[in-house]
Structure 1
């Protein structure tokens, strides 16, 4: 069915919100784009004149497409090589969606996206639609074909699961940047002790190479283990230059609304390290190095003004 200009305009107006919902639900920008495209195909085939509230209709269609993807994604991740981490979005990416409230910013943080992997598909849907987009439980219940009371129960359960895995108090942007600068100085000092002082006692470091880039299958746990790993990561060496094909630059920015280091080689993003910083120090490093999950970051990086790198590795 051919869409009218008005129908096209209504879909285009809804696209940013649909992409932001899909990304939070799936943790993958490429999968989110596919889900929104499939939603458009269903919009194109629908009798749009009979759809009273296009935004609600599109959200319901998108949500069910994402539910199907979440179910199949669980099976795929059972055979995934190493740690699975979400696809990072760099500062300014429109897919990050609304960031007016602390809840909205938190819902797309790398730490929370990783924690949401523990939720059931329905828990993830209710958490995202309620926490990040403020949908009333009545509307969420209609989307999932459950009662309003069930939606409320699922939301409280999901919020509890996320809170249990995330108990840190966030620091303001200026303090976070100061800690990042101190971290870079410590990481390039060649010594472990300055790094240990910046970390929480139970700090972790984990990375996703997707089987295409070397990455440890288990997380480093504890301040000393993490500091030793970081010191080795930043230590210069010809073997490392040969492995990555040159000497990449390191930039400080934000990814998923949290402090991050972006590693760039010849204009291509080859790594994004997201840092979870609390009042008691750096609690976690989550690094994405799988090239399949960095294509959007590279495109966004190429279109942005980022200045000179703070340091050149290796």
Structure 2
């Protein structure tokens, strides 16, 4: 389980994580490990190195990210393996964390994942990324700042924004439309860009009742949605299997949520600074 957990956080793909773990076991079967004192640590190192090479190969091939429409975990389509299991695995790790990890360099991702998530010392991480332990520590520190982010809002405003956004998500997940209406300003405006919906046209909804009806039409996406810092302000990210599909930005006024912006355009999504609320 530990090996697969390391590989999945490195690669963000259940099928690739399984490939990395299988390669580690193959190497174990071919290696003379009679002098290995800690076999778990040896296997973790092998899995990490294999995962790092796979990440670097992605960068070399300059793979384009999957289009948002393909990222949905639909049975019979997408990656090899069980999409439902992959979705559950992504949920257990944290969708926002997987989104942020994808913005790191392979070396930053390895240093952060191994040290911050699995307590591997920098003396062991350094050789994996061909750096000194001090340089590996700096890689993890740089990654940590990206993952955790910071809010420019005063603490009280940031806390209120978070409470409102989390309440909006909870009400959406529970189908509690009365609670949703209570969170919205009566004159709330929702704007969605053409890439965020199935009809490929801009959408503008005005008024609490209209916005709630629109939210109910997108209920299937709620499962893959969680709070995150978006440019330092609490919002929501929708990320099936950890692949960013939508960003929801909220404006909160005295009477509740006054505006919701739903962004699905890949170019706009790539410009957001997304960070994890809790780790």
Query: If the length of structure 1 is used for normalisation, what is the TM-score?
Result: 0.52
Q: 1:40 aligns with which of 25, 30, 38?
A: 25
Partner in structure 2 of residue 19 of structure 1:
4
Question: Relative to structure 1, is the Cα distance of residues 229 and 45 closer, same or farther in structure 2, using a 3 angstrom cutoff?
Answer: farther
Partner in structure 1 of residue 216 of structure 2:
234
Preserved contact between residue 115 and residue 121 of structure 2 (Cα < 8 Å): yes
Question: Relative to structure 1, is the Cα distance of residues 119 and 41 closer, same or farther in structure 2, using a 3 angstrom cutoff?
Answer: same
Partner in structure 2 of residue 137 of structure 1:
122
Unaligned segments of structure 2, at least 5 residues: 74-82, 243-279
Structure 1 residues 63-102: Cα deviation after superposition (integer angstroms, max 9, x where no partner): 1111121123344641632376998543xx6995xxxxxx
Question: Relative to structure 1, is the Cα distance of residues 49 and 223 closer, same or farther in structure 2, using a 3 angstrom cutoff?
Answer: farther
Preserved contact between residue 96 and residue 237 of structure 2 (Cα < 8 Å): no
User: Matches of 2:38 and 2:238 in 1, distance apart?
Assistant: 40
3-state SS, counterpart of residue 275 of structure 1: strand
Partner in structure 1 of residue 131 of structure 2:
146
Give the C-alpha shift of residue 158 in structure 1.
1.1
Partner in structure 2 of residue 284 of structure 1:
236
Give the C-alpha shift of residue 229 in structure 1.
7.9
* 1:183 partnered with 2:172: yes
Partner in structure 2 of residue 124 of structure 1:
109
Partner in structure 1 of residue 77 of structure 2:
none
Q: 1:30 aligns with which of 15, 22, 46?
A: 15
Question: Relative to structure 1, is the Cα distance of residues 188 and 119 closer, same or farther in structure 2, using a 3 angstrom cutoff?
Answer: same
Q: 1:82 aligns with which of 46, 68, 71?
A: 68
User: Matches of 1:176 and 1:66 in 2, distance apart?
Assistant: 35
Question: Relative to structure 1, is the Cα distance of residues 120 and 223 closer, same or farther in structure 2, using a 3 angstrom cutoff?
Answer: farther
Give the C-alpha shift of residue 147 in structure 1.
0.8
User: Matches of 1:121 and 1:230 in 2, distance apart?
Assistant: 41
3-state SS, counterpart of residue 224 of structure 2: strand
Question: Relative to structure 1, is the Cα distance of residues 60 and 287 closer, same or farther in structure 2, using a 3 angstrom cutoff?
Answer: closer
User: Matches of 1:40 and 1:274 in 2, distance apart?
Assistant: 35
* 1:52 partnered with 2:37: yes
Question: Relative to structure 1, is the Cα distance of residues 148 and 24 closer, same or farther in structure 2, using a 3 angstrom cutoff?
Answer: same
**What is the root-mean-square deviation in Å for CA atoms of aligned residues?**
5.0
Unaligned segments of structure 1, at least 5 residues: 1-15, 97-107, 209-213, 237-248, 251-259, 262-271, 291-314
Partner in structure 2 of residue 73 of structure 1:
58
Partner in structure 1 of residue 270 of structure 2:
none
Preserved contact between residue 273 and residue 286 of structure 1 (Cα < 8 Å): yes
3-state SS, counterpart of residue 118 of structure 1: coil
Structure 1 residues 221-261: Cα deviation after superposition (integer angstroms, max 9, x where no partner): x998xx9787436239xxxxxxxxxxxx97xxxxxxxxx94
User: Matches of 1:67 and 1:195 in 2, distance apart?
Assistant: 44
